[in-house]
Structure 1
Amino acid sequence: MRRWVLAPLLALPVPAFAEDVEPVIIVTAPGGGVDADEALAANREAIRRGSRPDLFGALANEVPGVSIAEAQGNPWAGAITWRGFSASALQGTEQGMAVYLDGVRFNQPFGDTLTLDLVPEAALARAEVREPNPVFGRNALGGALLLQTATGADLPGLRGSISTDSFGGYGGNASYGGKNGLLVVEVLHDEGWRDYSPSRLLRGFASLGHHGDSWGVDGTLIAASTRLTGNGVAPVELLAADYRAIFTRPDYSDSRFGRVTVAPYLEVGKSGRLTATVHYQSLKRVSANGDLADFSECDADPSRLCLSDDDEEASDVLLDVIMREPVAVDPTVDEYAVFNRGRERTRGGGLGLQYVDEVETDLGTRRIALGATWDRYMTRFDTRAELGELLDDRSVVPLGTDLVAASGAITPVSVDTTLRDLSVFASVDMPLATWLAIEGGVRWSDNRVELVDLIGSELNGNHRFQRISPAVEVDIEPTEDLDVSLGYAETSRNPTPAELSCADPDAPCALANFFVADPPLEQVVARNWHADAGWGSGALELRLGLWRSDTRNDIRHVASEVRGRAFFVNLGGSRRQGFDVAADWHQGPWRLGADYSLTDARFRSDFSISSPANPQADEDGQIAVRHGDRLPGVPRQAINARAGYESQRWALNAQVRWRSGQLLVGDEGNDLATTPDYFLVDLTGKLSLTRQLDLVLEVRNLFDRKYATFGTLAEIDEIELEEAPGASDPRAYAPGMPRRLSVALKARF
């Protein structure tokens, strides 16, 4: 009997993990195995090696060129950057990677963000990074991240783990796996190493399946409840005085998430397989953050409160939303601030259908895949700005008055968005000789976004984006040890509902959380070329990759003249190009590896952009960007090194990461210094106390280096920092975690 275990949409063979379990096929994305032979991956062991499962850490250590930026200051709300493109939890980031979890798209529909806090990492079996290909759908400008959960065969029996660390964090997970299913529960409480930065996560995963001789069905359920504190970047002079300090607070988000997927399959004939997927998900998120604000007495009437502009003219009167009357100055308030509140509710799901025909011929494997997907998501988004007071410790307390500015620069919002996405795709892998094959793929997509303003009519709008995107690749295998591939692909990214509703410089948004006016944005299109070569003989494997990606109509998140506000705009094109080289050696219990990546990311247009916090800005807050200037937020060079020894009784692993500095967001004109380079060493040791019980010790950042994973510019000249009197440097960094010691007990029965 032939057994298949399926989750929607991409067949990928993997080995069995127990002697009495037959080989399985896991489906992880559209396309019937497209580019699977070139995937860069972190396996289950890499994800679970430390004291607790860590997807971001595994990707940064195992995949050449991957860097992690924690702009929000939270380890579960970071951004994956690969080849100059990102998948991030932060609204405003140019989302350039498609993300799939068990074959279902996982970019959240409202802003295409990556919400890793909702993924039960203890249930993950594999994470792959793939080359850009149109069959992966929208956002795959720079590639795709494919996440695969474990089966009962991967985690058989009863397993559990508890851990604690030197910052006071603790947590644990438990799982039970059987022949037909898996149950995983994960609990984490993280105190955070910075001031006032706790987070908690409760996540669960369940799968159940039935598999007959020629048909079967699998179901999965994911649920999560999280509260993340992300106090973000801090001025460099503040960090120099107190590395654990934060700038302003609070800044948190509460999320409730659930997703159910059902995936039946049917074998057709001797070589065909028809799969279907049905999924539904719900996300509720509440956020709040306190921030600085340019509020002061009105020039015309000092008894009233106004919003000041860059020229320090206070003429934009602030009104009470309910009473529609001017807000009076409160003499008991020393310094005003703003308390932003947001609420998001997204519901929806989709259908997928795919037919794959795979035949072994004398020349090799011939594979044909045809499929279609349809998704529909509805989001209700509400935001408001409440008048606040900035206290001496830079915390913001709400004062109970919701604000609207007479100019519209600050206004409450309630908007319904509906996203509809229909696509049809096909791919073929055709051997032409025993040493030569050609792969091709094409995707037609029709994406529609409807906006309904629930307060007025300014946000109302309908947007439609259609495109046919092709891909082609030639695979050459001159010897059994050497393989070479050359490819071209076109990919695209549509403006999200969040971006479409925040594209007017005269009505900016608070970090993409406020929505006013609705000018159109254009679709981003990328043209990608790559050449890869791999050689493997026995214990040694070598890999070289060359690549280039040209984009047009880039969507940029641009700072407004109003403090804390920004807007989206299409700004020309850019080019990202570079190469990766990697070597891995395995011999018995020993493991060694290293890789180097170069990413050269540059603008290909001349333009001016608003960056009022940049010291090189003109009197209007504009900076000049020239053709050839480097893109901010992208490390130019990255080096990883790995070494490990593992026996039946004990194991020791070391990981080394070096990243070059990156330009600050807000310094698109390349006028300022980059963030410093950084070099980190992590150690993990495991001791088997019994056949069922392991003790794990882990040290992150062994040499306690101070470093930054992200940098930007902030206006701090009007706030007094008690820790750094007279501070005026506008640079602000997301500081990296200092040395952390962790211990865990892992049991299996």
Structure 2
Amino acid sequence: MPANPSTHATAIALAVALLIARPAVAQEDTGAPIGDSAVLPEVMVVAAAPLPGIGVDSDLVPYTVQTVRGDDLGGSRAGNLPDYLARNLAGVNVNDIQGSPFQTDITYRGFRASSIPGVPQGLSVYLDGIRVNEPFGDVVSWDMIPEAALESVSLVSSANPAYGLNTLGGALAMTTRSGLGSPGFKADLSYGSGNRKRADLSGGVRSAEGWHAFAAGTLFQEQGWRDHSEGRLGSLFVKAGHAGDADSWDVSLLHGRSNLIGNGLLPSVRASGNATLPGLYESNPRAVYTYPDQTRNQVTQVALNGRHWFDDKTSAAALAYVRTSRRDTTNGDVNPDYANYAEDCEDGFLADGSPRSARCGFTRAEGAALPPAIVNTTHMWQQTVGMALSLAKETESHVMNAGLSLDRSRLTYSQYQQPGTFTDDRGAVADPDAPNALFSGVSGTSRTLGLYLSDTWSVTRSTFLTASARWNHVAVSNTLRNSDGSEQPNESFTYGRLNPALGLAQKLGAGVTVFGGYAQNNRVPTVLELGCADPQQPCRLPAGLQADPYLKQVVSHSYEAGVRWRPSKDTDVSATLYRIDNHDDILFLRAPNTQQGYFANFDRTRNQGLDLTVRQQLGSVTLRLAYSYLQATYQATGQLAVGERTINIRPGMRMAGLPTHTVKLGADWQALPGLTLGADLVAVSGSVTSGNEDGLRSDPQPGKAPKAADWGTPGYATVNLRAAYQVNKHFEIYARVANVFDRRYETYGQIANDMFPNGNLLQPHVAPADSASALFVAPGAPRSFWLGVTYRI
């Protein structure tokens, strides 16, 4: 069911009111464990793993950690978490493929944490030590992150084995607030372009005896800047517990619901012979190709945390949780049979290159009998139950962290299809007289056991060696369902691997530290990938499960070296070189003699590059620079399936959707007491379009020269402004402007079949030449304004 904003508003108001009703003890020591209080405030401490432990000075670790405080994620600084990461953190980019602010495709050093099923995921995401990559496809539901409750967000680089499965390129670890560190009440209300309305409420209390409670909630609603792109969500996070001299515990509840519409890519240009014709995007960038494209998410998570300090240097922690999620989608698309029929008639040849069949000469009346639209609906239910134990010990020369995690997941997934027709504005309407037939489905379980150990050893007063290792054991069991409802034989797979890491940090004096290291990690195939892994039974993305033969696990080998220079509190510079080789990567390849594909292991891919960050404080002005250089390439041969295209991969070929250069500049100026002005610029170089990796716009036809085209998405730069004025100690007003110069730009491109040239449905028997060769793009948002107010007590 869609989220009910009034219901969430009532729940959030009641939770916050209960917290405020208790007297808060402002700025009073609540008896937090002395191991935590020993940390010097000027030292940035990073966790060795997502589970509770003893942190390490960020200057001593042999990898990169970028940390964001929760207060920076709201108000004038950002629209939401993905937006902030994209505008401020080095190595991070966003492909706005879905067109919804909470359904983004985030990449870090070329590895993805995406809400899109079927996309190869290479980043692990944690919330208070709980892995929130969903079991079905390792997808991340950004709309279910309780942003109003976040205390910190850390982006950890490399294939750090302590962060568990799927940490091929890095990990995003988020922690939530509590009444201990966030007493008082805060309300952040904003309104802006696209009729976007957002309310973030939070409140915390603590007592002298160590009891504490915290609640935070978010309500969001917008019409969106594109047609048919409204969305809304609501989330509530509540935490309560007790902290004593040696023991602490808390219990938390997260519940969220959303109803989001992301209308995806839009045709920009299409080929017609040797010319190109403008597409729907050129005439109306706010349009949508087909609709609806609706996703309804619901997540409920309950967690219990406890920690005991044996002394001021030794602690043990435990975590237990249950996380249940449901995702229902409705997508209106062109009927694949209808689209294939048009493609078969292209240039007088069938898709397989044989001469045109008599089918291409059918009459309009016969063509009308073929349903042009299909309405796909999916229903997914997932539940994960897990527990974890961790031990931490600090000695004169060592900081050691060890842990164990055990997770068990269950899921069911079903996809249905119902033929239909299109409205004049390309809306797919199901035929009420046609059956809503089961297309495919799966039910399955997975069990994951992880054991890790990490040690940072102070070899000398200036030399620090960090070694870690993790053993992962995963058992996956799936049962696929056919379109007639029958079940295929159950398939079970077991994966195990020991991943090591070793690195060194050396202080050279004058604030300079050099570091370097090697790390290894692995990713096991997801249910989605295993369910479409047979070239004899191919499928179409994003779903259509057919068979589940064995796939190898992906193994990444990460090398990283860099330098940090921190001569004073006003200057911070870091530069990092990295190379990550992925063996047995899992890609969607073309099945022989068909326009469908299947997931298969690909020998090797490589992500390598440079990240540079600079922060400089000049009196009342803070300047920031983040530059990233990325080479993401295939390192073997194969045939990649992208829509209607088959790409012959060769070593050194660039991956799609990943810019080579990204520059982020930011400035904040304390212009007057209480008045802060800020600006940032994000400049991104051009990216290879998916389906154009080989420089061709369509597959070669027998007896014809290949049709070359450079259809990559061009580079772009956007400027954003912000201002905040502190009226008094309680009230702050702020404004934010995105894309100040109203730059038209595209964040992603893909070649596909444009069945709506000029916005009108293509009739199969009049298919123009090159109908399948169209460049679809993900439009960037135009100039947008937001105004807000923050109230604190």
TM > 0.5 fold call: yes
Q: Which amino acid aligns with 1:610?
A: A
Q: Is the 8 A contact 1:560 1:611 kept in 2?
A: no
Aligned equivalent of 2:666, options 642, 652, 657: 642
Residue 12 of structure 1 contacts residue 36 of structure 1 at CA under 8 Å; is this kept in 2? no
1:194 maps to which residue? 226
Separation in structure 1 between the aligned mates of residue 297 and residue 40 of structure 2, nearest angstrom: 36
Aligned to 1:60: 86
Measured after TM superposition, the shift of residue 77 of structure 1 is 0.7
Contact in 2 for aligned 1:51/1:742 (Cα 8 Å) = no
Q: Match for 2:738 among 694, 700, 705?
A: 700
The yes-or-no answer on 1:630 pairing with 2:660 is no
1:276 lines up with 2:318 in the alignment: yes
What's the offset of the Cα at 1:480? 5.1
Contact persistence 1:204–1:224 (CA under 8 A): yes
Whether 1:248 and 2:248 are equivalent positions in the alignment is: no
Matched, 1:748 2:789: no
Deviations 1:61-118 (A, max 9, x none): 2211110111111110112111111110111111001111111111111111111100
The SS at the match of 1:515 is: coil
Deviation at 1:508, TM superposition (A): 3.5
Task: Tell me the CA shift for residue 379 of structure 1.
Answer: 0.4
2:480–2:547 CA contact under 8 A, matched in 1: no
2:105 paired residue among 56, 72, 79: 79
Q: Measure the CA separation in 1 of the matches of 2:37 and 2:410.
A: 32
Equivalent pair of 1:34/1:427 in contact (CA under 8 Å): no
The answer for the alignment partner of 1:447 in structure 2 is 474
Alignment of 1:96-115 (within 5 A): 96-115=122-141
- What does residue 558 of structure 2 align with? 528
Q: Matched residues in 1 for 2:82 and 2:403: separation? A: 31
CA contact (8 A) 1:96 1:142 kept: yes
Q: CA deviation at 1:295?
A: 3.1
* Local SS of the residue matching 1:443: strand
The change in CA–CA distance for 1:331 and 1:234 in structure 2 (over 3 A counts) is closer
Distance, in Å, in 2 between the alignment partners of 1:473 and 1:39 is: 14
Of residues 325, 328, 350, the one that matches 2:386 is: 350
Q: Does 1:208 align with 2:240?
A: yes
The one-letter code matched in structure 2 to 1:655 is D
- Correspondence 1:512 to 2:542: yes
Distance 2:749 2:36 in 1: 40
Q: Is the 8 A contact 1:13 1:26 kept in 2?
A: no
* Bigger mean CA offset, 141-150 vs 687-696: 687-696
Higher mean displacement: 513-522 or 202-211 = 513-522
State whether structure 2 residue 751 is matched by structure 1 residue 734.
Answer: no
Conservation of the 8 A alpha-carbon contact between 1:681 and 1:703: yes
Match of 1:303 in 2: none
Secondary structure of 1:585's aligned partner: strand
1:238: Cα distance to partner? 1.2
Please give the per-residue CA displacement for 1:518-572, whole angstroms capped at 9, x wherever unaligned: 1221111110000021011221111110100011111113467999965322122
Shift of 1:391: 2.6
- Equivalent AA in structure 1 for residue 655 of structure 2: L
Q: Structure 2 counterpart of 1:183, which letter? A: A
Structure 2 distance, partners of 1:721, 1:281, is 43
- Taking the aligned partners of 2:618 and 2:538, their CA distance within structure 1 comes to 58
Alpha-carbon distance in 1 for matches of 2:491, 2:605: 29
Partner of 2:19: none
Report how far residue 150 of structure 1 moved.
2.2
Asked if 2 retains the 8 angstrom alpha-carbon contact of 1:285 and 1:345, the reply is yes
**Of residues 239, 250, 259 in structure 2, which corresponds to 1:227?**
259
- Tell me, yes or no, if the aligned pair for 2:480 and 2:531 is still in contact at 8 Å: no
Q: 1:612 & 1:279 partners in 2: Cα distance?
A: 40
- Which one of the candidate residues 153, 157, 171 is aligned to 2:184? 157
In structure 2, what is the Cα distance between the partners aligned to 1:260 and 1:274?
Answer: 21
Conserved 8 A contact 2:533-2:550: yes
**Contact 1:583/1:595 (8 A) holds in 2:** yes
Does 2:712 align with 1:691? no
The answer to whether the 8 A contact 1:51-1:163 is kept is no
Residue number in structure 2 paired with 1:320: none
Pair 1:436 & 2:466 matched: no
Q: Does the C-alpha gap of structure 1 residues 174 and 314 become closer, same or farther in structure 2, counting only changes over 3 Å? A: farther
| Change beyond 3 A, Cα 1:567–1:34 | farther
Query: Which AA in structure 2 matches 1:415?
Result: V
Q: Give the count of matched residue pairs.
A: 703
TM-score, with length taken from structure 1: 0.88
Distance (Å, rounded) in 1 between the aligned partners of 2:446 and 2:373: 35
Q: What's the counterpart of residue 174 of structure 2? A: 147
* Residue identity in the other structure for 1:700: A
Moved more, 40-49 or 564-573: 564-573
Partner of 2:83: helix, strand, or coil? helix
Q: Matches of residues 114-513 of structure 1 in structure 2 within 5 Å? A: 114-132=140-158, 133-179=160-206, 180-236=212-268, 237-295=279-337, 335-359=371-395, 361=396, 366-400=398-432, 401-402=434-435, 412-454=439-481, 455-458=485-488, 460-479=490-509, 481-513=511-543
Partner SS, residue 431 of structure 2? strand
Using the alignment, how far apart are the partners of 1:15 and 1:47 within structure 2? Answer: 24
| d(CA) in 1 for partners of 2:190, 2:792 | 15
User: Could you say which residue in structure 1 is the equivalent of 2:577?
Assistant: 546
Change (3 A) 1:239 1:275: same
Q: Contact 1:543/1:583 (CA < 8 Å) preserved in 2?
A: yes
Unaligned runs of 5+ in 1: 18-22, 300-307, 316-328, 405-410, 615-621
- Using structure 2 for the length normalisation, give the TM-score: 0.83
Deviations 1:354-401 (A, max 9, x none): 100013x2xxx5211111100001001111111121233111111143
CA contact (8 A) 1:28 1:101 kept: no
Report what 1:602 is aligned to.
633
CA distance in 2, matches of 1:314, 1:534: 69
Query: Does the CA contact (< 8 Å) of 1:470 and 1:489 recur in 2?
Result: yes
Contact in 2 for aligned 1:266/1:275 (Cα 8 Å): yes
2: CA distance, partners of 1:35 / 1:333: 69
Give the whole-Å Cα distance in 1 for the aligned partners of 2:179 and 2:323: 23
Instruction: State the Cα distance separating 1:297 from its structure 2 match.
Output: 12
- TM-fit CA distance, 1:602: 1.1
By how many angstroms is 1:147 displaced?
1.3
Partner amino acid for 1:218? D
1:172 partner letter: A
**Aligned 8 A contact 2:33 2:243 in 1:** yes
1:157/1:566 Cα in 2 relative to 1: closer, same or farther (>3 Å)?
farther
Show structure 2 runs of 5+ residues with no match.
1-28, 207-211, 269-278, 342-349, 360-364, 697-709
Q: Tell me, what secondary structure is at the counterpart of 1:550?
A: strand
Name the CA distance, whole Å, in 2 between partners of 1:25 and 1:182.
Answer: 24
What's 1:585 paired with? 616
Query: Within 1, Cα distance between the matches of 2:610 and 2:493?
Result: 37
Maintained 8 Å contact 2:253/2:300: yes
Cα gap change, 1:296 to 1:441, in 2 (>3 Å): closer
Quick one: which of 697, 704, 711 aligns to 2:749?
Answer: 711
* RCO comparison, higher one (Cα < 8 Å, 6+): 2
What is residue 24 of structure 2 aligned with on the other side? Answer: none
Question: Quick one: structure 1 residues 693 and 269, their matched pair in 2 at CA, closer, same or farther if it must change by over 3 Å?
Answer: closer
User: Could you tell me how far apart the structure 2 residues matched to 1:710 and 1:251 are?
Assistant: 18
CA distance in 2, matches of 1:459, 1:74: 39
- Which stretch of structure 1 is more off in the superposition, 118-127 or 661-670? 661-670
TM-superposition CA deviations, 1:294-331 (whole Å, max 9, x none): 435999xxxxxxxx97678799xxxxxxxxxxxxx999
How far apart are the structure 2 equivalents of 1:11 and 1:700?
39
What secondary structure does 2:509 align onto? coil
- Between the aligned partners of 2:72 and 2:308, the Cα distance in structure 1 is 33
Q: What is the alpha-carbon distance in structure 2 between the residues aligned to residue 554 and residue 290 of structure 1?
A: 31
Query: For residues 40 and 75 of structure 2, what CA distance do their matches in structure 1 show?
Result: 20
Distance change in 2, residues 1:470/1:25 (3 Å): closer
